Structure 1
Amino acid sequence: MTSEEPTSSLPYKLNRQNQAQYHRNIMLLEKIIDAVILCGKQNIPLRGHRDDSTSDSSNKGNFLAILQLLAKHDEHLCSHLQTAKKNALYTSKTIQNEIIQIIGNHITGKILKGLQGRGFYSIIADEVTDKYANKEVLVLCLRFLDSREHPAIIREEFIDFANIERTTGEAVADKLTEILRLLAIPIENMRGQAYDGASAMASEKRGCQGRIKSLNQLALFTHCRSHVLNLSIASACKLPLVRNMIDVLNSVFIFFDSSPKRQRFLETSIENDESVDFSRKKLVGLCKTRWVERHVCFDVFYSIYKCVVKCLQNILNQNLNESTDEDWSWDRQTKVNAQGLLTSMTSFSVLITFVFTRFVLDTIKPLTVKLQKSDIDIFTANKLIGEHVDRIKEIQDLDIVVKTPRVCSKQQHRENMATNNPGDYYRSVVAIPFLDFLLNELDTRFQKEDLAAYSICSLLPVYITNLSNEELSKLASKLQFWVNDLPCLSIQDLEKELKDWRRYCVNMSKETSDKLCNLLNLFNYVDGDVYPNVKILLHIGCVLPITTCEAERSFSGLRRIKSYMRSTMHEDRLTGLALMHLHHSVEIDPKEIVELFIRQGKRRLFQSSLFS
């Protein structure tokens, strides 16, 4: 009896052949996944109008076109696309959806790894109407402290899009809790929730925040600070003169924007004006919803004001336009509209109101930018708001002396102040009412809803060093709100640790104290072994939300992804594509996706050919 060499046996040869085929199939699958990742991250539509196997269209979509391009440089992929059976190509919409969903779950899993440890977090949610599919879409974002980084960082991350049947507080709360349950995120670890001020979201009894609080009393509600600032400015701009000025700006914008010919004439006037090098050649419209962004419109209008006036004058009198040889002819209605706009723009009441309103909005502009940062905390936001309110209070005098409008017995569209002094008139009808109204709105709307949340700010060295023993006892009582999160056994233990922390801060150098100017810096500085309660309280303070800007940014991504050509996209596919597109910086390893794809269902990996 003779023995064969193991390497020459039939089972060994078949096994080697299967292994080689297996690795080739894996490589093919990786290239298919690479194409999906490319389309998802770059927001490239995958499917064509006719991309199924029965279509004879030459254009079957970007996904298949990318695969065909790769096949020109890969003979295995080329052979697969040409010879594999139609039901085994692994390029169908069903396989696409599976891969997209796996990639989305993979990205979500990477994000949620930041919730390891105590896992405190806050939710940020908002709702928008998908105008193409005519559906209500709810977005969920998480704010948490990622301690995997050194130092730790505050992160606000998009998690999910979900269609909702109704926008009642109950429906929104149920959908949010359902998403958290599916993602295995414990609602007990939620410490904050941020929404807009709509009653369905903000109501304490029947709104979303009230229903979430019934499940977790520690989930403190924050009315988006950017929305609050927006509402304050919008209310102040209801003054008659301010309202009229805004109408004039909007009418001038529409006059030029609605006509390519008039817009080109304005651009020609700006180009021929050699006195100033203008970077802007087009007026900017007033934002309909974000009032705090109107300073951009004001800045552009201010910079090209003279050119706009000259352009309107040239439309009325063509003989004035000597800067160009082109023949510009205008119909009667255009001249009538130009005359009305020119009269309004050169009115002193409009000009003085415009200059003053622009000055006040420029004062608030840095605040609007800072509030949109994802890593801002409650202390920094409150401090910035206070500083800008104080700056507005410093605005007092208007050193302009021009004639006042006439006074009549009854007037509804402007103020009817009986005075002959122009300075007193505009100070009385514009400056004082606008500032008083704005300051009153800011003071009223920016009240501290949750004193317990703002009491965490007292742990900063700049504050705690000035607290007496009695004030420290009151602070400990307020911080007992989170007693279940703290390792201290009693309020006396917490008070003792606060006294030790105060003593440490008193002996701290001024340079160190100045660096610890916000909750995040202080969290990274504090030793959790020595001051465990202070460390946990700072962790909670860092995750408390300030605005819903991350949700708004997610809606911008939604508008880029969900176009009228993709109006029937399913919810899971939309979420997967959005996760790839909005988390563009997240590294995705195709090999990991292949493993997840194989595990998800029974795959013919060890047959003679994976795709046959």
Structure 2
Amino acid sequence: MKNLFKVCVFSLISGALRGAQAIVRQSYPKALYVHCSSHCFNLALSDGCSVAEVRNCLGTIETVYNFFNFPKRQRVLEHEINKLEEKPKIEKLKRLCPTRWIQRHDAVNAFVSLLNPLINALFEISTWTDKKTATDAQLLSSAICQSSFLLCTFMVKYVFSLTLPLSKYLQTPNLDLSLALQSAENVNKSLTKMRQDDKKSFSDIYLETKRICDEFDITILQPRTTYRQINRNNVPGSSPEEYYRRAIYIPFLDQIIQAIDAKFLNHKNTLEPFQKLLCNNNSLDIKEVFNSTQQLLEFYELDDSGAMGEVILWVQFIKDKTEKPRSAIEALERCNKNLFPTIHKL
């Protein structure tokens, strides 16, 4: 039912015949339709988390939340939290929202903060006389106390900490499409840098996970590799650290990087001709700006007489400014309608 509702809402907006897109184009035929940047980023993160181990890890975290979503079990968890010498800032588990990735980051962060009392609470509940509840607690504690699960959890926490600022930023009310695209590219650069220096970036995650494993007497084991394996990664590794880096960490980063590129490709194609008008690059050739302007004038069927002169003056006007306009809104505020009528209209 929820998926059906999402499809219906999406069709109301994007429908080419009866959606909001079609209604706007009745009055403005040249209006360009692009997906919400925040929604595109959410989809990119969702695609990135399709790596089996990461997907299963998030599923386990959601199952733990649902398990403790009962007063009696919650009291056991609260009792374990109160036993801590230093109380954590987060004292309650949070639900993994299927669409809002800001909330997913909060849920993973809460899970990691409460990991110790969580495991102790599950051990306690597994001794109850209620067979069903005790068995479920035992199964969950066994799942959580797997080194592969803990490594995935800390990987997700680390990557989500990089994507969280952008997730919040993409929901600001006055966000410009060019700034959204630039911000997404900055996140991708950070992730790409992690990918290029994967040994160092993963080493920090591995050491943090090992510290938690040592507290609970959990040995980080490397799965047995066989000649033929179809149900899990079967990559070679000389150590558990190398195995998990190659089998999970690198594919996880690759998936997110590729997904962000793919989801924002439509934005890039739409924005490219307009981006040249912002003249952010001091070395930008006037001919490049003019060619982009000519492309836009043809698309919008505007008069191109005098456009070349405007472009020359506009590029020089922007180059003389110490601070270049970062967005179309800032450029519009600086663009004199009488001096640059064509540029102002675009």
Assess if the C-alpha contact under 8 Å between 1:298 and 1:358 holds in 2: yes
User: What is the correspondence of 1:49-128 to structure 2 with a 5 Å cutoff?
Assistant: none
1:367 Cα offset (Å): 0.9
2:104 aligned with 1:294, yes or no?
yes
Of 278, 291, 311, which residue of structure 2 is paired with 1:460? 278
Deviations 1:23-74 (Å, cap 9, x if unpaired)?
Answer: xxxxxxxxxxxxxxxxxxxxxxxxxxxxxxxxxxxxxxxxxxxxxxxxxxxx
2:116 aligned with 1:306, yes or no?
yes
Q: How many residue pairs are counted as aligned between the two chains?
A: 326
What 5-or-longer segments of structure 2 have no aligned partner?
208-219
Aligned partner letter, 1:445? K
2:46 aligned with 1:234, yes or no?
yes
Q: Which residue of structure 2 lines up, in the alignment, with residue 474 of structure 1?
A: 291
- Closer/same/farther in 2, CA of residues 277 and 505 from structure 1, 3 Å limit: same
Q: Which residue of structure 2 lines up, in the alignment, with residue 255 of structure 1?
A: 67
Q: Which residue of structure 1 lines up, in the alignment, with residue 168 of structure 2?
A: 369
Matched position secondary structure for 1:390: helix
Aligned partner letter, 2:232? R
- Closer/same/farther in 2, CA of residues 206 and 466 from structure 1, 3 Å limit: farther
1:254 Cα offset (Å): 1.3
- Closer/same/farther in 2, CA of residues 311 and 277 from structure 1, 3 Å limit: same
Assess if the C-alpha contact under 8 Å between 1:379 and 1:457 holds in 2: yes
1 or 2, which has the higher helix percentage?
2
User: What is the correspondence of 1:214-363 to structure 2 with a 5 Å cutoff?
Assistant: 216-257=28-69, 259-274=70-85, 276-316=86-126, 330-363=129-162
Q: TM-score, with normalisation over the residues of structure 1?
A: 0.49
Aligned partner letter, 2:191? I
Matched position secondary structure for 2:63: helix
2:247 aligned with 1:416, yes or no?
no
1:500 Cα offset (Å): 0.5
Of 495, 519, 527, which residue of structure 1 is paired with 2:336? 527
| Higher RCO structure (Cα 8 Å, ≥6 apart) | 1
**Equivalents in 2 of 1:454, 1:219: separation in Å?**
16
What 5-or-longer segments of structure 1 have no aligned partner?
1-127, 138-165, 168-194, 318-328, 538-612
**Equivalents in 2 of 1:248, 1:330: separation in Å?**
24
Residue range with higher mean Cα deviation, 440-449 or 475-484: 475-484
User: What is the correspondence of 1:131-146 to structure 2 with a 5 Å cutoff?
Assistant: none
Aligned partner letter, 2:259? E
Assess if the C-alpha contact under 8 Å between 1:226 and 1:371 holds in 2: yes
2:326 aligned with 1:517, yes or no?
yes
1:427 Cα offset (Å): 1.5
Deviations 1:244-276 (Å, cap 9, x if unpaired)?
Answer: 21121112111111x2111011112112212x2
Percent of aligned pairs with the same amino acid: 25
Matched position secondary structure for 2:68: helix
- Closer/same/farther in 2, CA of residues 419 and 371 from structure 1, 3 Å limit: same
- Closer/same/farther in 2, CA of residues 423 and 311 from structure 1, 3 Å limit: same
**Equivalents in 1 of 2:113, 2:30: separation in Å?**
50
Aligned partner letter, 1:431? Y
Matched position secondary structure for 2:34: strand
Of 183, 186, 189, which residue of structure 2 is paired with 1:390? 189
1 or 2, which has the higher strand percentage?
1
Matched position secondary structure for 1:491: coil
**Equivalents in 2 of 1:211, 1:411: separation in Å?**
53
Aligned partner letter, 2:331? L
1:330 Cα offset (Å): 4.6
Q: Which residue of structure 2 lines up, in the alignment, with residue 445 of structure 1?
A: 263
Deviations 1:403-453 (Å, cap 9, x if unpaired)?
Answer: 212235665543233434212211222111111111111111211357464
